Amino acid sequence: MSIHLGGPRGGGDYGGMEGAENEIVSEINTTPLVDIMLVLLIIFLITIPVATHSVQVNLPERMSHLTMVKQGNIVLAVNAEGQIYWNEQPLADVSVLSTKLAEIAALKPQPQIQIRGDINARYEFVGKVVEACQQAGITRVDFITQPPKPG
């Protein structure tokens, strides 16, 4: 077995190219590369919309309405230090809150529970109030916020 690296062979036959000089082609054939890129582009264009919207759900719209403090509603306030207030009366701890909430949960219909949390209160303090409401079986809990300032 032999390898021909160029140069004249015996008889001067250059594979049908009599007298042609052997030149090294220094250009890259980009046609196959362009073909592959176009196929990948088409695949991505088809699969991306399917991957991003595979599960159809109806998302709720933002509701913003004023909650009025009515007679019989219970307002739970949490100050920045974590002190809990039941209609402006301070409570000793979360266990007292849980006991009072259990009594309220037994009423039919349940009064509305409204939580007012200080902007500087840690989430932990407000979270304990929400957890106590959930464990007591309160079905409706609202958060009272300050309306945004105009302008």
Reported pTM: 0.54
Q: Which of 151, 150, 149, 73 is nearest to 116 (CA)?
A: 73
Q: What is the percent of the chain where pLDDT is above 70?
A: 68
- Position 59 confidence tier, pLDDT thresholds 50, 70, 90: low
CA geometry: angle 17, 18, 21, nearest 5 deg:
75
Q: Domain 74-143: which CATH class?
A: alpha beta
Q: What is the mean pLDDT of the chain?
A: 78
Each residue's pLDDT tens digit, 80-104 = 888 999 988 899 888 999 999 999 8
What pLDDT does residue 9 have?
55
- Mean pLDDT across the stretch 17-33? 75
Higher local confidence (pLDDT), 105 or 61: 105
- Whether the per-residue pLDDT at 2 is higher than 80: the answer is no
Domains of the chain, by residue range, sit at 74-143
Highest mean pLDDT among 13-27, 65-79, 132-146: 132-146
